[in-house]
Amino acid sequence: MELFRQTNIDFLKYKWWAIGASWALIAVGVFTIFVQKGLKFGIDFSGGTQIAIRFAQKPDIDKLRTLLDGAGLGEIGIQRYETPEKNSVLIRVQQQEKEGRDVVGDVTKVLRQGLQTPADPNKIDINSEGKATLAARIAAADPDRVAGRSDTDPNSYYTQAADKVIAHRSELGIFGTPEQAASTEGISQGVKAWIQANTVTGPFVVLSADNVGPQVGKDLQKKALYAIVWSTVGMLAYIAFRFRSVPFGVGAIVALIHDTLITVGLLALLGREFDLIVVAALLTLVGYSVNDTVVVYDRVRENLKTPKKEPLETVINRSINQTLSRTILTSGATMLVVLALFFLGGEVLHTFALTLIIGIIVGTYSSIYVAAAIVVIWKDFKNRRKLAVVPAPVKAEPVQPAQPTAPTGKKKQKGR
């Protein structure tokens, strides 16, 4: 199967249109960020607390809000999390004034007290306690009478049982009744009876809890910014080393900044939050954008080595056409896996995948219309100023391993 057999599209004819479109997209992004008064940061960067909770029953979000508003934690955001049948919510608490407050503990305490009918203080909540506490409690009661037996250590004996109960809870998501907990396979009758008599099932399980203090948030912001700036510098250095030509380098870097700006702008437009994982995706894009550009550039350089004197625009157009099939295929293949991540990878990877989807599209487009177009425009401009009559071939030989079989540069230009 072949989709792009020897295409001969005059891509660069539309370069000014493309540049206009790029500017329009960038403007939309910048405008959005301006209207939103900056980017929406996730708690990695803004600091604050985020708690994902799964309930046994469908949660009443208004009630949760009322409970938490009374806790003196400042601004609270509550939204649904995952798919509706999982009864999960994501609770957001703003950055606290003072470093060190146990916000996660406070939130869970308030919710537990507000939602649970007061239970016997001697019973433990099997949906909230961890396995170590569960094990300690069972060991203290010692329903199987193992204490004092020479062959068994009560702690490790009951830790195994507690492990099984908690693993069972993880499988189910949450225990509805103590009986459900007691039905765990592989635990003794004594432990089962103890669970039925001494536990209650609280209204929710904490899926994850993140609390980022203001210092760490600021540190991460700084690190993220440095990472993006320095990787751009790294790319610049690599391209300078590989191509030793100012217009090519400028073209690649402008394309890279273009891709990052548009992606960030579109993410802002879609109301996505920026956190560490999104920065990871953006950095991946930095690599991907240059990667695509380099493939086109490599071909341009190779084509410039032929003795034939042609206008640069023709050479670049031909190079784009020659690499078009590869560009589309590679982008397509990467897109397939990213789409799989977007639809199947779950909540955490959702924005990550979306960033890559946008980035791949923009990156592919920019290799042609930004990176290549800039080289043409740059040289045109220079020619007009009569600094060069003929586009000068790029000088430096690439650092290439010995390839005895490769008769480079002597290719016949059939059918052109």
List the interface residues with other proteins, window 323-342 (CB under 8 A): 323, 325-326, 329-330, 332-341
Site membership for other proteins, residue 220 (CB under 8 A): yes
Task: List Cα–Cα distances, 203 to 48, 109, 111, 137, 300, in angstroms.
Answer: 24, 12, 9, 21, 64
Site membership for other proteins, residue 54 (CB under 8 A): yes
Amino acid at 8: N
For residue 196, the minimal CB distance to other proteins (Å) is 19
For residue 170, the minimal CB distance to other proteins (Å) is 4
Choose, by CB under 8 A, the member of 189, 226, 381, 396 that binds other proteins: 226
Report the 3 state secondary structure along 135-193.
HHHHHHHCCCCCCCCCCCCHHHHHHHHHHHHHHHHHHHCCCCCHHHHHCCCCCCHHHHH
Choose, by CB under 8 A, the member of 116, 183, 221, 231 that binds other proteins: 231
For residue 382, the minimal CB distance to other proteins (Å) is 26
Instruction: Find the angle CA(27)-CA(30)-CA(35) to the nearest 5 degrees.
Output: 120
Separation of alpha carbons 297 and 63, rounded Å: 60
Report how many helices (DSSP H) and strands (DSSP E) the chain contains, helices first.
Answer: 14, 6
Q: Which residues ranging from 165 to 204 are in contact with other proteins (CB under 8 A)? A: 166-167, 169-171, 173
Q: Which residues ranging from 57 to 116 are in contact with other proteins (CB under 8 A)? A: 99-100, 102, 104-105
Site membership for other proteins, residue 304 (CB under 8 A): no
Nearer to other proteins, 81 or 369 (CB): 81
Nearer to other proteins, 32 or 288 (CB): 288
Q: Phi, psi at residue 101, to the nearest 5°?
A: -70, 140
Binding residues for other proteins, how many (CB under 8 A)?
Answer: 100
Nearer to other proteins, 150 or 400 (CB): 400
Q: Under 8 Å CB-to-CB from 298, ≥6 apart: which residues? A: 398
For residue 157, the minimal CB distance to other proteins (Å) is 11
The DSSP 8-state label assigned to residue 52 in this structure reads: E
Choose, by CB under 8 A, the member of 9, 24, 61, 140 that binds other proteins: 140
Long-range contacts of 222-231, Cβ-Cβ distance < 8 Å, separation of 24 or more: 224/45, 224/276, 224/279, 227/279, 227/283, 228/260, 228/279, 228/282, 228/283, 228/286, 231/283, 231/286, 231/287
Site membership for other proteins, residue 131 (CB under 8 A): yes
Stretch of 19-27, 110-118, 306-314, 347-355 lying at the interface with other proteins (CB under 8 A) = 347-355
Q: Which residues ranging from 144 to 163 are in contact with other proteins (CB under 8 A)? A: 160
Choose, by CB under 8 A, the member of 28, 76, 164, 213 that binds other proteins: 213
Stretch of 59-67, 212-220, 311-319, 388-396 lying at the interface with other proteins (CB under 8 A) = 212-220
Count, residues in the chain: 416
Instruction: Find the angle CA(376)-CA(378)-CA(384) to the nearest 5 degrees.
Output: 100
Stretch of 11-19, 61-69, 180-188, 400-408 lying at the interface with other proteins (CB under 8 A) = 400-408
| CA proximity to 285, closest of 336, 239, 331, 242 | 331
Q: Are 12 and 70 in contact (CB under 8 A)?
A: no
Site membership for other proteins, residue 6 (CB under 8 A): yes
Choose, by CB under 8 A, the member of 30, 206, 257, 361 that binds other proteins: 206
